[in-house]
């Protein structure tokens, strides 16, 4: 994040200064400009900003008219906020396993989980790979909302269409580590249907229709002008940053073939490589310790799947219920990946990983 701040330092400081001098700090001109430009970027009719990516999911779910006992189908191989949003909206998460090659929700298993209580399906575009929303949508009842968790998919595309702008609603996060990240929390909901707009606008601000009246209960989830101004600066560079991520990913894949297994990208998908993950065939945790000792930061996404988290015990899932997810959680390792990654660090990461895996005799054929 510091390297990226240095890349845009002057533009960021100038635009933040302008906001501070304007005296307008919430839901004003820069927020409206960002909403319009991000909608254009993802080719959506509408974009409304909110306070976080989690809020974007919660508000999207509330549009489904969630009542106690209603269910939302999603994957256990995702970040914690995906399930947190479902619980916060008042629904029950129903997990289905993923495909081992793409790490994306298995369409056939999702369809098999649909019942009369299903109000929404929430596929996750994990690490920037894109779930085939159209394929699942064509098999679902019309009353089931398709809500895309696109928090990791800024700029990813499938068959020319932007992730997040294919289903009924798409939820984005602008947390600092995202491909398009601010310097604090922020999120957005993109959608096509005009009738969603007034309700989202009310839900993000207490349910207010004016400063003195509410028509239903919402939450406080407003993007501030400073975050919008920063995101406007970085949005201009997003395509170039994603292009650089793809270049780095190509190097990793070509240099580490035979050492790690990489996420399969469908031929009609443009991946944004929010996270560069390889699967370790061997002792992943030992490799992580070795890389840390060599001062190369790697991370695990995700060490414990959502269905086995303590807070989710009430759902009744057991070890073995989602074997592919559980397998991947024991193998995945995220490598350094950001547009400003220095070439020497890229080469050293590859060299050290090859060396450590060689010592561990973990290379496969």
pLDDT of residue 80: 98
Query: Hey, how many other C-beta atoms are within 10 angstroms of the C-beta on 146?
Result: 18
What's the pLDDT band for 91 if we cut at 50, 70, 90?
A: very high
Dihedral of alpha carbons 348, 257, 331, 335, sign? positive
Task: Give the domain 238-359 fold.
Answer: 3.90.1150
Strand ranges of the sheet holding 118-121, from the earlier edge strand across to the other edge = 46-50, 187-191, 169-173, 145-149, 118-121, 71-74, 92-95
pLDDT of residue 358: 86
Q: Mind listing the pLDDT tens digit for each residue in 335-345?
A: 999 999 999 99
Domains of the chain, residue spans: 2-235, 238-359
277-278-284-285 Cα dihedral, nearest 10 degrees: -20
CA distance 132 to 266: 10
Give the residue ranges of DSSP H helices in 155-222.
Answer: 196-203
- Measured at the CA of 184, the angle between CA 273 and CA 58, to 5 degrees, comes to 80
- CATH code of domain 2-235: 3.40.640.10
Q: Mind listing the pLDDT tens digit for each residue in 44-58?
A: 999 999 999 999 999
The two three-digit tokens of residue 60, written as one number: 């999207």
8-state DSSP, 298: -
Q: Mind listing the pLDDT tens digit for each residue in 141-153?
A: 999 999 999 999 9
The two three-digit tokens of residue 333, written as one number: 């390792």
Q: Mind listing the pLDDT tens digit for each residue in 125-171?
A: 999 999 999 999 999 999 999 999 999 999 999 999 999 999 999 99
Is the pLDDT confidence value at 63 over 70?
A: yes
- For the segment 232-258, the average pLDDT, to the nearest whole number, is 98
Q: Mind listing the pLDDT tens digit for each residue in 287-313?
A: 999 999 999 999 999 999 999 999 999
Phi-psi category of residue 115: left, alpha or beta, with phi > 0 → left and psi -120 to 50 → alpha = beta
8-state DSSP, 220: B
Q: Are 245 and 253 in contact (CB under 8 A)?
A: no
Give the residue ranges of DSSP H helices in 63-185.
Answer: 80-88, 107-113, 133-137
Element at 60 (helix H, strand E): helix 53-62
CA distance 318 to 334: 26
CA distance 297 to 257: 20
Give me Rg for the CA atoms of the chain.
21
Dmax (CA) for the chain in angstroms is 68
């Amino acid at each position: 994040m510091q390297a990226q701040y240095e890349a845009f330092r002057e533009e960021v400081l100038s635009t933040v200064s302008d906001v501070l001098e304007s005296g307008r700090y919430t839901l004003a001109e820069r927020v409206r400009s960002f909403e319009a430009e991000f909608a254009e970027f993802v080719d959506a009719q509408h974009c409304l900003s909110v306070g976080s990516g989690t809020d974007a999911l919660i508000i999207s779910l509330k549009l489904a008219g969630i009542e106690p006992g209603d269910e939302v189908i999603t994957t256990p191989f995702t970040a914690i906020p995906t399930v947190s949003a479902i619980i916060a909206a008042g629904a029950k998460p129903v997990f289905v396993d993923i495909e081992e090659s793409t790490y994306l929700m298995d369409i056939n298993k999702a369809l098999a989980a649909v019942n009369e209580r299903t109000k929404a399906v929430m596929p996750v575009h994990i690490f920037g790979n894109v779930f085939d929303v159209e394929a699942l949508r064509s098999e679902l009842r019309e009353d089931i909302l398709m809500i895309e968790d696109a928090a990791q998919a800024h700029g990813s595309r499938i068959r020319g269409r932007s992730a997040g702008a294919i289903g009924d609603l798409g939820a984005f996060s602008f947390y600092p580590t995202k491909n398009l990240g601010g310097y604090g929390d922020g999120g957005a909901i993109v959608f096509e249907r005009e009738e969603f707009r007034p309700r989202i606008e009310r839900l993000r601000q207490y349910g207010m229709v004016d400063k003195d009246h509410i028509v239903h209960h919402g939450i406080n989830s407003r993007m501030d002008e400073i975050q919008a101004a920063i995101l406007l600066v970085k949005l201009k560079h997003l395509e170039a940053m994603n292009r650089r991520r793809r270049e780095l990913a190509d190097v990793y894949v070509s240099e580490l073939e035979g050492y790690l297994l990489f996420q399969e990208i469908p031929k009609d998908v443009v991946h944004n490589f929010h996270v560069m993950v390889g699967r370790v065939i061997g002792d992943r945790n030992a490799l992580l310790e070795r890389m840390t000792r060599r001062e190369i930061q790697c991370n695990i996404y995700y060490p414990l799947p959502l269905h086995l988290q303590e807070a989710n015990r009430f759902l009744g899932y057991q070890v073995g219920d989602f074997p592919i997810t559980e397998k991947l959680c024991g193998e995945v390792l995220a490598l350094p990946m950001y547009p400003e990654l220095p070439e020497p660090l890229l080469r050293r990461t590859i060299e050290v990983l090859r060396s450590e895996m060689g010592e561990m005799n973990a290379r496969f054929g």
